[in-house]
């Protein structure tokens, strides 16, 4: 729905067009894992896209903040090589790196780090995917299978592939146990609030409901976003009783009443 509204918003005023086809998926933080935000010095082509969608979104939603998770993005760009053009499906990190070579023939590792404003680990993964993996879109000097701070890189005009469309994959980032635990804790906390909100909505409408029906209705509401554990729903019911949002029926402990 958001994308359809955005397309209509662009069609109403030709001056708004960012110059490239743009599709944005808006994730609600309460129902998705917490992704690491990585600052990236976007090329002008992408800056225009971000600013255009931000203008549209802020006109529709006054109290929400957009955080751009570039690591989840996908771009389709055309590489003009000597043999033939090749359509490449790549990440924003890779695209931002390749677009540097539209203006420079050769760049050192440190120059690329400064231009992209990315953490060292992300720059190494990006350059490895473009110069050391299956698709050598960039040339690395000296040659080798690893990227180091003393390397320099240049556009490879001789690159070609039998396919006209290729997908250039990035190496997966290493995730520490601490980051996993932190993400799980954040997700659990967000889902806890979502479960409570669903229970309160149901009880506000129904006023009185038995345990099994309440768990079933809450599960059905939440399935659009995630699959809730019935044990978690039970915990949230107990917590809402303790906070006096609900109470047990005096005649039947399995029946709950909503407290206005």
Q: Is the pLDDT of residue 89 over 70?
A: yes
- Predicted confidence (pLDDT) per residue in 102-156, tens digit: 989 999 999 999 999 999 999 999 999 999 989 999 999 999 889 999 999 999 9
Q: Name residue, tokens 């039998």.
A: 162
Judge contact between 141 and 152, C-beta under 8 A.
yes
Is residue 203 classed as helix, strand or coil in its secondary structure? helix
Our separate counts of H helices and E strands in the chain read 8, 9
User: What average pLDDT does range 37-61 have in this prediction?
Assistant: 90
pLDDT attached to residue 189: 83
Work out the pLDDT band at 179, boundaries 50, 70, 90. low
Q: Is the pLDDT of residue 183 over 80?
A: no
Q: Is the pLDDT of residue 93 over 80?
A: yes
- Predicted confidence (pLDDT) per residue in 63-86, tens digit: 888 889 898 899 999 999 999 999
pLDDT attached to residue 172: 63
Q: Distance (Å, rounded) from C-alpha 202 to C-alpha 221? A: 9
Q: What is the mean pLDDT of the chain?
A: 89
Which residues are registered as beta bridge partners of 80?
85
pLDDT attached to residue 186: 79
Q: What is the DSSP string of 80-149?
A: E-SS-EEEEEE-HHHHHHHHHTTT-SEEEHHHHHHHHT--HHHHHHHHHHHHTSS---EEEES--SS--T
Q: Is the pLDDT of residue 41 over 80?
A: yes
Q: Is the pLDDT of residue 90 over 70?
A: yes
Q: Distance (Å, rounded) from C-alpha 101 to C-alpha 144? A: 20
153 token code pair: 């890189």
User: What average pLDDT does range 231-241 have in this prediction?
Assistant: 92
Q: Is the pLDDT of residue 245 over 70?
A: yes
Q: Distance (Å, rounded) from C-alpha 234 to C-alpha 214? A: 10
pLDDT attached to residue 258: 92
pLDDT attached to residue 27: 83
Q: Is the pTM of this model over 0.85?
A: no
Task: Give whole-number Cα distances, 25 to 14, 40, 73, in Å.
Answer: 22, 19, 9
Element (H, E) at 208: strand 208-210
User: What average pLDDT does range 207-220 have in this prediction?
Assistant: 93
- CB neighbours of 126 closer than 8 A, spacing ≥ 6? 91, 93, 94, 97, 116, 118, 170
Work out the pLDDT band at 28, boundaries 50, 70, 90. confident
């Amino acid at each position: 729905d958001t994308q359809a509204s955005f397309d209509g918003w662009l069609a109403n005023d030709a001056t708004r067009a960012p110059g490239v086809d743009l599709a944005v998926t808006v994730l609600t933080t309460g129902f998705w894992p917490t992704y690491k935000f990585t600052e990236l010095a976007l090329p002008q082509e992408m800056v225009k896209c971000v600013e255009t969608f931000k203008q549209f979104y802020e006109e529709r939603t006054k109290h929400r903040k957009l955080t751009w998770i570039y690591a989840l993005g996908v771009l389709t760009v055309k590489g003009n090589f000597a043999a033939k053009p090749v359509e490449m499906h790549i990440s924003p990190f890779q695209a931002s790196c390749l677009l540097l070579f539209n203006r420079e023939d050769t760049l050192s590792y440190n120059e690329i780090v400064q231009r992209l404003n990315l953490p060292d680990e992300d720059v190494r993964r990006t350059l490895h995917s473009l110069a050391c993996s299956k698709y050598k879109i960039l040339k690395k000097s000296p040659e080798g299978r690893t990227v180091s701070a003393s390397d320099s890189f240049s556009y490879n005009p001789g690159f070609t592939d039998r396919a006209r469309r290729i997908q250039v994959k990035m190496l997966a980032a290493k995730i520490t146990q601490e980051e996993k635990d932190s993400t799980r804790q954040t997700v659990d906390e967000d889902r806890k609030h979502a479960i409570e909100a669903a229970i309160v909505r149901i009880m506000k409408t129904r006023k009185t409901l038995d345990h099994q029906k309440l768990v079933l209705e809450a599960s059905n509401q939440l399935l659009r976003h995630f699959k809730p554990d019935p044990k978690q729903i039970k915990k949230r019911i107990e917590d809402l009783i303790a906070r006096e949002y609900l109470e047990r029926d005096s005649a039947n402990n399995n029946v709950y009443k909503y407290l206005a």
